Structure 1
C-alpha cells in the first residue's frame, strides 16, 4: 500500500521527515514532477487542449486553455525548474562550507557528490528500463523482439548510449523504453560541470566568485547552452540564499526607526517584484508547442528571443525564456513566505520525496493503462448503407466513450475524470518504486562510497547529512 496510507494504519512505523533550509525546493520539484505527468497524459490523450486559447477558429476553446490555467499541463518549463533546483541543491553544501572557511568540508562534499551522482541518477533508470524491457518482451507494453537476447541487447544499447551517455550535453537523445528519460544524461553532464566550477572558484573571493559565475551564465546563454546556464544559475541563487541568511556582524548604523522603515519599504518592493516575476513566469510557462507566433503575449517574447536561440531549432526560443523564468521563479519562491510555506507543506513535501519516482514511472503506467481507462469515443456511421465506402458506427467505450469528445466541455470533463483515475495509479506506482528501488539505490551509493574510502575519510563522510534532492 502507499506509504501515506501505511503511516495511518501503522503509526508506530511512520517515518519522520524534518524540514531543512532548502525543503521548499524539494516541494517545488515535487509539484513540478506531477505537472510533467499531467503534461504527458494531456498530450497523449487530449492533444487539442494543449494548444492556446482561441487559436482554432473552427472549434471553440475551453477555459483550461487560458493563460495561467494551462500551466497545470505545461511540463516543458518544469524541466528547466528541475535543472535550476539541481544546481541550487548540489551547490548548497560546498558553498556553505566555503562561507564558513572550511575548505576541507567543501572538498569532501564535492568529492562525495561527484562519486555518488551516477548512482543517484542512473541506478533507478537502469532498474525501471529493465522492468519495461521485460514487460515489452512479455507483450504487455511496446514491441516484443525475436528473442530475449535481442531485447536484452537493445536494452543494453539504450542504457549505455542514451540514458548513461553524458557526451551529448544538452541534446535530446530520446531513450528507448522510456523517452521521458532524455533529461538524465543532461542532468549528469551538467552536474559534473557544476562541481568543476565550484572547485575552480572555491578559493576565490566572494565578489569575484559571484561575478565569474554570473559571467559564465551570460557566456552559456551567448553560446546557446541553456542547461549549463540553469545549473550555474542554481549555484548563483544558492550563494545569494546563504548570504541572505547569514548574520550581519556590523548591523545598521542608522537609528532603529529609520532601519525599520527602510526595511519595510525594501520588503514591500521585493514582494511586489517577486509576485510580478511569478506571474510573468507562469504566463511564459504556458508557451504552446505549436503556433507560438499566433499566441497573444507569447509572440511578443518569441519576437524578442536573442541570438543564437532565435536561429536554432524550433523549440529553442521557448528554452531561452523557460530558463530565465525558471531562475526567477526558484528565487521568488524562496522570497514569498506564502509560497514557501505551501511548498514546505505535507502535500508538496510528499511529492518531493517521490518526485524522481513519479518522473520515472509515469510513462510506463500511462503506456499500460491510459488506453484501457480512456478507451475511444463513439464514431457515427458514414456514407450510405450498401454503397461503396460505407462505414458502420463504432461504439465508444471508456472515459472518452461515456464523456464524449464532441466539444471542449466534454473533453475537459473527460480529461479530469481520466486524471482522477490514472493519477492515483501513478502516485501509487511511484510510491512503491521510491521505497523499493529509488531510496535503496541512494543508500547503496552511500555505502559503496564508504567502502571505497579509507577509514579516516569514510568516518567523516558517514556523519554528513544529505538532502533528499542531492
Structure 2
C-alpha cells in the first residue's frame, strides 16, 4: 500500500495553510504616496482597463490583484498549464498533417517518429485528453473542499446550516457559472463561421441560407449543449470543445449529492463510500465520474489523513526521504501514462506492457472515451494531483504569478482557443505559406506563437468582460432567490452582491470551470 506523507499523517495547521503574502508596514509618507497613486488610477480606471491586465499591472496602472496565495493556489496553476496543453494538442492535431505526435517514440517508420516531443513523459505536452481528465479531478476537489470542511467541523453549532446553505448556493450557481460564459462565445463563433469560409462552416451552410435563417439554424445546433440530462457526448460543430461543460455540470451534481449523502457518516465510512463509488465508476467505464469522485476523495484526505483510520497501536512513521521518493515516482508515472499515445502502444515499451494491465471492460468499446488511452489518462490525472498534493516544491512552482495568472484566465482561454486557431490561425497559415512562400514548419511555429499570444490577450478581456460578470450574475441570483438565511446581511446593490465572498470563495480562491471566481472586495 502506498503511504504518502500529507495524506497519511496529520500535520500542523501551518503545513496545510501557507501563510498569505502581506504587504510590509509603511510609514505615513509611503502611505500618502500610495493613496495618491490609487486616486490617479481610479480617475483613469476606464482608460487603463482597455489594456490587458498583465500590461496594466506592469505599468502600475491598476489596483486589481490576483487572489492572495494559499495552500490551494497551486490548483489554479495546474488549471492554467493544462489549458495551454489542450491548446497545443488541438492546434497540432489540426495543422500537423503527419500526426506523428500521436505515435510513441520509435514507432515505425522510426526516422519519422523520433521527435523530442514523442519521448515518454515529455509527450505530456500533447496530452489534451489527459488534461480534460485532470480538469475533472480538479473540479471534484475544488467543489467539495468547502462542504467537506464544514462536514469535518460538525462540532460547530452552525455547521449544519452552513453546509446546507453553501450546497444550495453552489448548486444554483453551478449552471450559470458553466454555461453563461459560453453564450457570447456561441454568437462570436456564429459570426465567424458566416463571414470567414476558412473557419469550417459545417453542413448547415450547404443550402446557402439567408443570415437570419443561418442564425436560427445555429441556435438549433447550440441548444443541445445546454442539455445536461443525457450522458451522450455532444460536440457542437465549430465549438466542439464545449462538450465538457455538460460533463462538468453532471459531475458537479454527483459530488454535491455525495456530500449530502455522506455528511452524517464517520470519516472512515465516508472514505469507503466515496472511494468505492469512484472505483465502481472506473469499472463501468465512467472515467469522468471516477475523476470527480477521486477529486472529492483527495479533498477529504486534506481534513482526515488515511493514518487517522489506523488504530493507534499500529501507526508508524515512514522516513521522509522514502515518502518523497515514492511521491516523485508517482508523479513521473502519472506524467508517463497521462501522455499515452493516441494511436496506442504499437509495440513500444513501456506502453506495450502497461497496455496488458487495462481491465477487459475498457477494451470492449470503440468510442474514444472507452479506450486504453482514456483509461490511463484518468489514472494519470488522479495520480498527478495526489503526487503534487505532497510536493511543496512543485506547488510553489505552480503558484508563481505568471502561472496563477494563466489559471485566472484559464476558463476564458479554454473557451476561446478553438476559434482562435481556426479563424486567425487559418488566415495566418494561408498568408505565410501561400503569399510569402514560407516552409510549412516555419509557418506553423510562427502561427502557433502569434495565435497563443492573441488567445491570451483575448482571454484576458473575456475574463474581465464576460467571465466575472457571469460570476456576479450567479451570486446575484442566489441572493435574489433568498438562499441565505435571515442572519446573512442583505446587500443593497448588485455591485455589493458581486463583491460578497461566500465561505467557499474565501476558503478556496481558485478560478476553475468548476468554481466561482472571487471578486476582489472593495
Q: Mark yes or no: TM-score above 0.5.
A: yes
Distance 2:484 2:338 in 1: 49
2 CA distance for matches of 1:209 and 1:429?
43
Which region of structure 1 is more displaced relative to structure 2, 15-24 or 119-128?
15-24
Q: 1:296 to 1:134 in 2, by over 3 A?
A: same
C-alpha deviation, 1:458, in angstroms: 8.3
Where does 1:5-404 land on structure 2 (aligned, <5 Å)?
5-46=55-96, 47-57=99-109, 59-60=111-112, 61-101=114-154, 102-139=159-196, 141-143=199-201, 146-161=209-224, 163-169=225-231, 171-244=232-305, 265-313=318-366, 315=368, 316=370, 317-375=372-430, 396-397=434-435, 401-402=437-438, 404=439
Q: CA deviation at 1:377?
A: 8.7
Q: How many Å separate the matches in 1 of 2:184 and 2:486? A: 30
Contact 2:340/2:376 (8 A) holds in 1: no
Q: Contact between 1:33 and 1:78, CA under 8 Å: does it hold in 2?
A: yes
Q: Is the partner of 1:166 in helix, strand or coil? A: coil
How far does residue 155 in structure 1 lie from its aligned partner after superposition?
2.8
Query: Do the aligned partners of residues 288 and 458 (structure 1) sit closer, same or farther apart at CA in structure 2, a change above 3 Å counting?
Result: farther
Give the superposition deviation at 1:443: 1.2
Contact 1:222 1:307 in 2 (8 A): no
Cα deviation, residue 276, structure 1: 0.6
Tell me, yes or no, if the aligned pair for 2:101 and 2:126 is still in contact at 8 Å: no
CA distance in structure 1 between the partners assigned to 2:343 and 2:306 by the alignment: 43
Shift of 1:157: 2.2
**Contact in 2 for aligned 1:103/1:202 (Cα 8 Å):** no
CA shift in 2, pair 1:194/1:253, >3 Å: closer
Check conservation: 2:102, 2:343, Cα contact below 8 A.
no
Shift of 1:421: 1.7
Cα distance change on mapping 1:341 and 1:244 into 2, 3 Å: farther
159 and 242 in structure 1: CA distance in 2 versus 1, 3 angstrom threshold = farther
Contact 2:165 2:484 in 1 (8 A): no
CA distance, structure 2, for counterparts of residue 21 and residue 239 of structure 1: 15
Q: Deviations over 1:270-304 (max 9, x none)?
A: 21111111111111122122143333322222222
Distance verdict in 2 for CA 1:294–1:253, change over 3 Å? closer
Q: Is the 8 A contact 2:91 2:421 kept in 1?
A: yes
2 CA distance for matches of 1:16 and 1:43? Answer: 33
TM-score in terms of structure 1 length: 0.85
* 8 Å contact kept, 2:168–2:483: no
Sort the Cα spacing of 1:184 and 1:463 in 2 relative to 1 into closer, same or farther, 3 A: closer
Deviates more, 1:234-243 or 1:368-377: 368-377
- Secondary structure at the aligned position of 2:69 is classed as coil
TM-score, normalised to structure 2, is: 0.77
In structure 2, relative to structure 1, the CA distance for the partners of 1:243 and 1:38 (3 Å cut) is same
Flag the 1:227–1:460 CA change in 2: closer, same or farther, 3 A. farther
> Contact 2:105 / 2:119 at 8 angstroms: preserved in 1?
yes
Question: How far is 1:414 from its partner?
Answer: 5.4
Deviation at 1:89, TM superposition (A): 0.2
- Residues 136, 8 of structure 1: CA spacing in aligned structure 2 closer, same or farther, 3 A cutoff? same
Listed one character per residue, the Cα deviations across residues 111-157 of structure 1 (whole Å, up to 9, x for unaligned) are 11100000010001122112111232334634355123322323322
Structure 1 unaligned runs (5+)?
379-395, 406-410
Q: Distance in 1 between matches of 2:192 and 2:239?
A: 13
Aligned to 1:3: 53
- 1:199 Cα deviation from its structure 2 partner: 0.6
Aligned-partner Cα distance in 2 for 1:454–1:62: 55
Tell me how far apart the structure 2 counterparts of residues 245 and 294 of structure 1 sit (CA, whole Å): 38
8 Å Cα contact 2:432-2:443 kept in structure 1: no
The 8 Å contact of residues 75 and 138 in structure 2, kept in 1 or not, is answered as: yes
Secondary structure of 2:485 counterpart: helix
How far apart are the structure 1 equivalents of 2:271 and 2:358?
Answer: 26
C-alpha contact 1:126 1:159 (8 A) present in aligned 2? no
Alpha-carbon offset, residue 240 of structure 1? 0.4
Higher share of residues assigned helix: 1
In 2, the alpha carbon distance for the partners of 1:329 and 1:303 equals: 22
| Structure 2: stretches of 5+ with no match in the other structure | 1-50, 491-499, 516-522
